[in-house]
Structure 1
Amino acid sequence: MYEEEVEGCSKYKPTMRFAAIVVATVILMSEVSLAIFEYIHCRVDGNPLSAVFAAIFTFHSLFTTFYIIGAFRLVECLMVPWLTLQLIFLTTFAMFVVVWWIATLLSIFNLVQYYHTPSDQGLTNAEFFVLTGIVLTLVLFLCMKLSHILYKGFVSVRTQNMTRYRITESVQRTDSVLKPSYV
């Protein structure tokens, strides 16, 4: 059974680790691009909100970089801060989607309206809220799936470390000078 655990770890788990590395790299490139875009937008327009978003994307990209380094070097403690940030983000985003659907329900009865100019002949109030709610829900499910892949990569690294630790521990026990004595 112990050999099966080692074989299963070496065949299946690195695939999840490499998938997590690829997903984290794509997320890192997106975060860096968004940080650069927001910084440029802040410099051109002088909007302080763009500077805040640039700082947030830069901060999050540092943790994504730590996650990638931890996945490459099999150091799980570098991966935990990113997973914590992702959990906070997903919880906040899920609450926003729930509030958006409540606002959508209220918009059907014209209790909530979005601002648009009188010359705008686009979507009605309810159509805007429903379509935006559908897009937000799809983005939430996509973020949840990507976070699940990244969590599985963390579990893969942890399993590999535990397997390596068990093998090292058993080898040290067999090579130990202190043997049990029978009295």
Structure 2
Amino acid sequence: MKKIAFASLAAMGAIALPAAAQAQDSNQPEVTIGASVGLHDLAVDVEDADLDGFDVDESGEIFGGFAAVDFPLGTNLFAGVEGNAHFGSGPIDAEYGASARLGFRTDGGAKIYARGGYQWVDLDAGNLIGVPDFDESDFPNLDTTAGDYLVGVGVEVPVSSVVLRANVDTIAFDTLRGTVGVGFKF
């Protein structure tokens, strides 16, 4: 009798093991790494600053990458973290930041999420005010890096083995930043 019980338990374990392994895989974190491009409008208010006579360039293209890790919270909800780094053109030398994500995954695998975090932007003062010969090193106390909280929304859509994504963010509700990208899941 003990042999039959042991054999039955062993058989049930052999049948249940693949199902348990598959269930464990669906609860594993999902890592996405990719490249992104976008436009960041700094929304410089020329009327508030004494910038008469300057050709203010308040938006610049950004080119860079991102890395995100999402953790399932049940069947369709997820929470995660994301980091980004971009080089810029025009008034933006670079920008980088980190955010938390909370969203919903559709049955087809698309993700819709909100995010919040902190973003730093390193400005090119000369390009910002339209003076290309401006040398920031002539002003040792000039700090051209600004940072504040970031809030935004985004969507990721799986297409074959890649993920297409789009995000719209604001930094302290003063700027507007839109990015699109492509990523690979690990």
Highest RCO, 1 vs 2 (Cα 8 Å, sep ≥ 6): 1
More helix per residue: 1
Q: Shorter-chain TM-score: which interval? A: under 0.3
TM-score, with normalisation over the residues of structure 1?
Answer: 0.19
**What is the TM-score normalised by the length of structure 2?**
0.19
Structure in which a larger fraction of residues adopt strand: 2
